[in-house]
Amino acid sequence: MTNFTTRMIFRAAILVVAAGAASAQTLKAEIPFKFWAGDAVMAPGSYRVTAISMLSGRPTIRLNTVDGQHPVLLVPVAEGDPQKTWQAAGNPVLSFQCTATRCSLTTIWDGPFTPAYRMPMHKLGNDEPVRTALIEMHPEKTE
């Protein structure tokens, strides 16, 4: 390869990375219950969800309150196809597994054309009925 070709490929790669970083959006969710996110217990409230970087081929997702307090960095344990109902609605979703007393964040899907990211799940308890709670996320409006 010539030096010119190598430089052009390198510049193209930089543009692709820059475009991907520019398209990252911050999503906002209103979560009305206490929940586990990884090893952290989070209070009910308004949250921002942002994919901030790639780590070992998987995104690192930042979850924090809208006032910037109590940030948690989450690294998905797996990724896969989002549920068909989520795809049909087209809205980004946070999915939780809940018992009568606890909820744990299990999946983050940030919208069409992206995989659903499975989060490390906190143990909820034995022999309790489990339900799924879905919280829609919306792009955060900038002022």
Domains of the chain by residue range? 25-139
pLDDT in tens, the chain (143 residues): 565 444 334 343 333 333 343 346 799 999 999 999 999 999 999 999 998 777 666 689 999 998 888 899 999 999 899 999 999 999 999 999 999 889 999 999 999 988 999 998 877 777 789 999 999 999 987 65
Amino acid at 116: A
pLDDT of 143 reads 56
Please say whether the beta carbons of 130 and 97 come within 8 A.
yes
pLDDT of 3 reads 53
Which helix (H) or strand (E) segment holds residue 132: the answer is strand 131-136
Name every residue whose Cβ is closer than 8 Å to that of residue 105 and which is 6 or more positions away in sequence: 35, 36, 37, 38, 63, 74, 94, 95, 96, 119, 121
What are the tokens at 143?
Answer: 């002022």
Place of tokens 């390869």: 1
Q: Is 36 exposed, middle or buried (0-12, 13-18, 19+ CB in 10 A)?
A: buried
pLDDT of 69 reads 82
Contacts of range 81-90, beta carbons closer than 8 Å, 24 or more positions apart: 81/115, 81/116, 82/109, 82/114, 82/115, 82/116, 83/116, 86/116, 87/112
Amino acid at 66: V
pLDDT of 55 reads 61
pLDDT of 5 reads 43
117: nearest Cα among 42, 47, 60: 60
Paired strand residues for 47: 29, 65
